[in-house]
Structure 1
Amino acid sequence: MEPVRRLFNGSLGTQLFVLQMVMVLLAVGATALVWVQHTRRQLDDQYQQRALAIAESVAGLPEVREAFRRPKPELLLQPIAMSVMAATRADYVVIANRDQIRYAHPNETLIGQKLSTDGSEVLASGQSWRGTETGTLGRSVRGKAPIIGADGQVIGLTSVGVLEDTVAEQLGAALPPLLYTVLAVLVAGALISALISRRVRRQTFGLEPGEIAALLEQREGVLHGVKEGVLALDLSGKVTLVNDAARDLLGLDFDAVGRDLGDMPLSDRMRDVLVGDDPGEDKIVLHRDRVLVLNRTPISVRGQHRGWVVTLRDRTELVELARELDHASSTTEALRAQAHEFANRMHTVVGLLELDEHEAAVRFITQTTEAYSQFAAEIRAKVDDPTLAALLLAKSAEAAERGASLVITDDSRVDGEGLGDPRDAVLVVGNLVANALDALEGTGGIVEVSVRTDGDGLHVRVRDSGPGITPDLVEEVFREGFTTKAANSGPRGLGLALTRQTCLRRGGWVRVHNADGAVFTALLPPYGTAPVAVSVGKAPS
């Protein structure tokens, strides 16, 4: 047992070679055994037929029938039997009467004695018989035929046989070709087994089963331990590997391995990036409530392209921080603009005082204060929520700083009940106004803002006096990662995409059309309802 144990503890190539050789030996041995048995049965059948044919020929000789009418038949039948034996190379030819007393036998001392095997069936039925029996000369294959007299009655029988040793000798003569064939098959099997073992070693890079198992465990540990999502695809687009992080980021509640991307609940944008229809690095995709960054890298093994691996990074918190920073920057910019405007006005007041124009200075201060207070009061009167009102006031100052004018329409009315989460309202309104100001960059103009609430939620309408949205880009402005500056409205990055995502998450919508400039309209329900599809290119009815 120790050599066997050592053998199966050897290298993978050695184990494969030995196992395959064992299989070859078993197959060849079983085939050879079946062949020998089949050949032996064929030889037995052939010799039985031959013995029966000789027996029937002897039984049909007229000399044999004539001898049975003589006083001593054995004197005539023994020479006939011996001559037949010499001519046919049979091991024995026996002739007996109806009482089964021998008249002819290779051993003359047995003449006159009863047959050692029963021939009553042949004598009674008058039918020939063939088979294998054991007699005085040993076990043999034999044939028995009845001898029919002139009156048609059975008067005796003939028995012709070939010893099994003779059959075995002929079988042995047929074995050398079989042995040569078996040897050739074993040599071929050994060569093929060696080639298979070598190929397996090459494909496994010479690693042993224990090392392969350790690598698999390490791979599983690494893949499912990293926080980044990893998704592997083959050439046909089927998932071959997905770790826990990727399953969580994509929201998969099933095992995606072996499934096609078309059968998975993914957005068109996500599917385009995964299959490579939208190539590039650090592709930004909005999936459910998350902002994901995807990178798609080809996989090559030994110089052959095998598929792709896609990494997914969750940048939701980073985007949230960037959004808060953007809001803070907007507020800072508004304060800077107000400070700059205040400084200009103070310089004007100082100049008037130096010119002793005291009344003009007082009048200028009064008018400026009243105008600002009136605008702030107008916004607070129309917008009940302080957060949204502060945003509009800051955007107004920013617009003035950039040479534009922000106008709040007369139909604007916002109360707290229909607003819902003010953070979502600030995101939607802030992004749409920022987009409108970008469209007027360097040209001046007007940004018209309408915000109102009713039973459906917050309705937002932002129109700029810019050149509008290029028709071929109308479908693209809400796509995440859209950064081209070909659109005069200048949508950048995630602003409009986040706006759409927020509206959809709340069960609303966002749309855009051209009417003396770009007009963005959005509905932000106070509570999440069934999401509706985004429609672009048409005005809301």
Structure 2
Amino acid sequence: MRNHRASRPGRRLALSRLSLTGQFLALQLGLIVIVLGVIAAVSVARADAEFRRTESRRLLSVAETVASQDAVRVGLGDPGRQGILQPTAEAARSVSGASSVEITGTDRRVLTSAHPPAIGRELPLGDSRVFEGRSWTGVVTDGGRTSVVAHVPVFSAEGRLLGAVGVGREHPGLGDRIAAATPHLLLYLGLAGVLGTIGSFLLARRIKKQTLGLEPEEITSLVEHREAMLHGIKEGVVGLDRHHRITLANDTARQLLRLPADAAGRTLEDLAVEPRLYDVLTGRATGRDQLVIAGERMLTLNRMPLITRDRSIGSVTTMRDLTELAALQHQLETTRSATNTLRAQAHEFSNQLHVIAGLIELGEYPEVSRYVRGISGTRTRRTSEVISKVADPSLAALLIAKASLAAEQGAVLRLTGDSALGPLPETLAADLVTVTGNLVDNALDAVRGAGPGGRVEVRLADDSTAVRLEVTDSGPGVAPELAEEVFRHGFTTKAADDVSRGLGLAITRMICTRRGGHVTVEGPRFRAEIPRTRAEHAEEVTTP
């Protein structure tokens, strides 16, 4: 039993090693053999029924002919003349081709038979009621042999029952019937085998053409490797057909794009994806490293169209989560901004020290004292103005540093007279510092290069529900048709083609949206509103 079980996988392995044509041929030949077997069984059964029906009628006619002969009546009516029955029965058997013609008296004892040992024994009747004066045909088994028989009663001229005549034809065995049908079955099997071979070759050739010449086990191996690869890589992968229907989406892609588990087979319209994401996935937005804001995540997407036989069959898009990278980039930008601020302050202090050193060399000591008091007062007034209006230390320090940076590039950064901001929770203060820094940097970029006179105004307002921020610059402002685009995917009007460019506004919107607020732009004025309480449905993501 153990060896038998172990042999089954071996047979399956051997079958799997057959080529596609061989597998189709083996399958079709197997089906042909089964069909021919069924046809043979049905044919034998029908032939058997036809044999019984035809032979029953013929044997009944022979039995009636024998029973109507005068010699049979005389032989049964006069025991002394029973000798004439055997020649009469043999003559009828030889003429009719029956296996046996047996005549019995009313005692059922056989008086004539082609087999001498059968004379004197009782005639096997089966279900026959011939001795009740009724003719009968049917099948009788005697001594292991099955025969189709006909029983006919014999009556005298006066109508008295004298005996019966039984005519039988031995039924051919199953082997004989199959042997008789074998030549035809072999012919059918040969024709079917030839047609099956040709059909298998043509079908396999067509299928292999559609499967790029790959065998089934190769296709299975490719599918298994593809599934392992798709679900093993960290990047998200989304495949679309030419009707924008999702054909594959690995776990990372479903998580990043918040796709349902049954996304495969559904179109992008059914899933109601965001317009920017729709444009990138369908190829309306072209280019490498397309940035998309999906919920509270920043993604970079790369789309590759699939073309087979000069015909587009869909596309594959890979994506990476840039949320953490954007946070690191912003931290780098913040560090760079702080470095620039310190450099500006160092430059300013260096110039002031040069002035003081020059006055000392000239011996203008009273002027040195006056100059020191002047610059100290200016810095003190600038710091006092910010601290008096902004109670949060981190935000106040940011605004003071940005003011020094603006002064270096020939611009002026100031708080509006009606600005007022009280103490803030730690998380809100961190988010507000990020939003303010991004908007101020964007405003300073807008007035950079415009020469002296550039202005950046910051207005802060606070109530029990939200903090409101307005940043206005003297630059050209944002065109109305770009008012939404600048936030959607890190849009930038700078000439440099750099992924890090324009991320500040995208991060700003992401932070505001996460807390349940919003940010808008109207010309040169950006307005942001950040609720004091984080929205309950917002998810925690890494932010600068």
Fold match by TM threshold 0.5: yes
Aligned-partner Cα distance in 2 for 1:151–1:273: 111
Question: 1:164, CA displacement in angstroms?
Answer: 2.7
2:246 to 238, 251, 258: 238
CA contact (8 A) 1:419 1:453 kept: no
Residue equivalent to 1:94: 102
- In the other structure, the counterpart of 1:507 is 516
Q: Deviations over 1:463-520 (max 9, x none)?
A: 234444322222212112323469xxxx9521111011111222322223x3xx4332
- Report deviation, 1:525: 2.8
The C-alpha deviation readout for 1:369-399, integer Å capped at 9, x for no partner, is 4344222211110011222112222322333
Is 1:164 aligned with 2:171? yes
Secondary structure of the residue that 1:90 maps to in structure 2?
A: coil
Pick from 332, 339, 342 the counterpart of residue 332 of structure 1: 339
Q: Does 1:51 align with 2:55?
A: yes
Preserved CA contact (<8 Å) 1:13 1:201: no
Give the partner amino acid of 2:511.
T
Q: 2:299 aligns with which of 283, 292, 315?
A: 292
Pick the aligned partner of 2:526 from 515, 520, 531. Answer: 520
Deviations 1:284-313 (A, max 9, x none): 234455443222334568988665443333
Check whether the contact 2:63–2:151 (CA below 8 A) recurs between aligned residues: no
Q: Secondary structure at the match of 2:68?
A: helix
On the 8 A contact 2:110/2:123 being kept in 1, the answer is no
TM-superposition CA deviations, 1:30-58 (whole Å, max 9, x none): 44443343333333322322333234434
**Distance apart, 1:113 and its partner CA:** 3.8
Shift of the 322–95 alpha-carbon distance from structure 1 to 2, 3 Å rule, reads same
Q: Is the 8 A contact 2:130 2:151 kept in 1?
A: no
- 392, 396, 399: which one aligns with 1:392: 399
Is the 1:436–1:447 Cα contact (8 Å) retained in structure 2? Answer: yes
**1:395-435 Cα distance to aligned partner (Å, 9 max, x none):** 22333444443331222112223574433111101112222
Report the alpha carbon displacement of residue 238 of structure 1 after superposing the two structures with TM: 2.6
The farther-off stretch of 317-326 and 439-448 is 439-448
In structure 2, the residue matched to 1:408 is 415
Report the Cα distance in structure 2 between the residues aligned to 1:222 and 1:121, rounded to whole angstroms.
79
Change (3 A) 1:78 1:503: same
**Quick one: distance in 2 between partners of 1:241 and 1:396?**
49
Conserved? CA contact 1:481–1:493, under 8 Å: yes
Task: Choose 390-399 or 5-14, whichever is displaced more.
Answer: 5-14
Are residue 229 (structure 1) and residue 238 (structure 2) matched? Answer: no
Please list every run of 5 or more consecutive structure 2 residues that lacks an aligned counterpart in the other structure.
Answer: 539-544
User: Which of residues 441, 463, 466 in structure 2 aligns to 1:457?
Assistant: 466
Match of 1:129 in 2: 136
- 1:304-363 Cα shifts (integer Å, max 9, x gaps): 866544333344443223212222332333344455556677788899999999988876
Q: How many residues align?
A: 521
The aligned residue for residue 187 of structure 2 is 180
Question: Which residue in 2 is equivalent to 1:529?
Answer: 535
SS class of match (2:487)? coil
Q: Does 1:478 align with 2:487?
A: yes
In structure 1, what is the equivalent of residue 541 of structure 2?
Answer: none
SS at match of 1:34: helix
Q: Which residues of 2 match residues 338-353 of structure 1 at below 5 A?
A: 338=345
| Contact 1:142–1:159 under 8 Å retained in 2 | yes
- Tell me whether 1:141 sits opposite 2:148 in the alignment: yes
Question: Contact 1:8/1:15 (CA < 8 Å) preserved in 2?
Answer: no
Cα pair 2:490 2:501 within 8 Å, conserved: yes
1:207-218 mapped onto 2 (5 Å cutoff): none
Q: 1:442 to 1:60 in 2, by over 3 A?
A: same
SS of the residue corresponding to residue 280 of structure 1 reads coil
Offset at residue 170 of structure 1 (A)? 6.6
CA contact under 8 A between 1:508 and 1:531: conserved in structure 2? no
| Cα distance, 1:32–1:344 mapped onto 2, change above 3 Å | closer
Residue 390 of structure 2: aligned partner: 383
Structure 1: gaps spanning 5 or more residues: 533-541
Identity %: 35
Matched, 1:497 2:506: yes
Q: State whether structure 2 residue 76 is matched by structure 1 residue 42.
A: no
For the residues of structure 2 that align with 1:77 and 1:103, how far apart are their CA atoms?
Answer: 8
Shift in alpha-carbon separation, 1:129–1:418, aligned structure 2, 3 A:
same
Which letter maps to 1:57?
S
2:478 to 466, 469, 473: 469
SS at match of 1:414: coil
Task: Spell out, residue by residue over 1:131-158, the C-alpha distance to the aligned partner (whole angstroms, 9 max, x if none).
Answer: 3334589542223344566677755433
Give the Cα separation in 2 of the matches to 1:138 and 1:375. 127
Q: CA RMSD in A?
A: 4.9
Could you list the per-position Cα deviations for residues 33-87 of structure 1 after superposition, in whole angstroms to 9, with x for gaps in the alignment?
Answer: 4334333333332232233323443455598165565345867766665565455
